[in-house]
Structure 1
Amino acid sequence: MELDKTDRKILSLLQDDATLSLNELAEAVNLTTTPCWKRLKKLEDQGIIQKRVALLNPDKLDLSFTAFVMVKTSDHSHEWYSQFVETVSEFPEVMEFYRMAGEYDYMMKVLVKDMPCFDQFYKKLVNSVAGISNVTSTFAMEPLKYTTALPLGAS
């Protein structure tokens, strides 16, 4: 889909504050509410806007221990992959989960309260799926940048 400047502005505004009313959004992009609503509907129908959510402060919820977990496996069958993805996707501590190219096969970002909670997660992970040959974890000491806003640019 080709996005024009107005679509990009709408998306940028919503990334910053998804609680903007239709009137506020329309005014910010110099449209009346009906054309603005039609653009929003089109962006939603095409899956560009997937959903609108509240971003929570993990520190305020005592979830400030971030680990990056890299996994290697010797089993690259579709069956193992499907079971691994299904199992890991059910762990609420896993915030992000990727299949990787390079030294490790999979990487996940894990958010928990502290090291004992991470140890529980680790044990649950390695005991949930057979065929994991190596698990390496690194721990974030300080977040330096975090955003959910996609770099829309002007293209």
Structure 2
Amino acid sequence: MDRIDYEILHQLQSNAKMSMKDLAVTVHLSAPAVIERVKKLEEQGAIEGYQAKVNLKKLNRSIVALVLFKSVDCKSLAHFCNSHPDVLECYRVAGEISYIAKIATYSVETLEQFIDKAMPYGTPSTNIVLSSNEKAVVLPYSIEGV
């Protein structure tokens, strides 16, 4: 990957609906050259897919929380989290905490219900998100990485 590939990734993360023509202008290449690069980035797995950023508040899921677990059974906890509709992301981590689930739910009551259902899999510690500065990140270009 070179600087242009990283710029393409950066632009697509900012606006995945950007036309190939507009992307070509932005990265100073022809549209066919950009189409070929995007296709290669997809084939290599650098681009895994395209998705819409959803406004959780508009879906009445105004409670976002990070639930940290000291798990007694990570595989069962992972299965539970993967099947629960409120879970957005989950991570198996090293350290005193073994699992983190990010959830978006409707109310404090539904958050409590999630915690109650998850208790058999470990000891939870819940952190409600007050605000977020979420942004997509493209790793910086480095000569060593090429």
TM bucket by the smaller chain? 0.7 to 0.9
Pairing 1:18-29 to 2, within 5 Å after superposition: 18-29=16-27
Note the residue ranges of structure 1 that are not aligned, 5 or more in a row.
75-79
Note the residue ranges of structure 2 that are not aligned, 5 or more in a row.
none
**Corresponding residue of 1:77:** none
Letter in 1 for 2:131: P
Pairing 1:1-155 to 2, within 5 Å after superposition: 3-74=1-72, 80-126=73-119, 130=120, 132-140=121-129, 142-147=130-135, 149-155=136-142
Task: Note the C-alpha offset of 1:144.
Answer: 3.7
Letter in 1 for 2:40: K
Q: 1:151 to 1:32 in 2, by over 3 A?
A: closer
Which one has the bigger helix percentage? 2
TM-score where L is the length of structure 2: 0.88
TM-score where L is the length of structure 1: 0.83
Between the aligned residues of both structures, percent identity stands at: 31
Q: Secondary structure at the match of 2:111?
A: helix
Could you tell me whether the CA contact under 8 Å between 1:14 and 1:20 is conserved in 2? yes
Instruction: Tell me the distance in 2 between the aligned counterparts of 1:47 and 1:35.
Output: 18
Give the alignment's Cα RMSD to 1 decimal.
1.6
Aligned length: 142
Range 36-45 or range 65-74, more displaced: 65-74
Could you tell me whether the CA contact under 8 Å between 1:26 and 1:32 is conserved in 2? yes
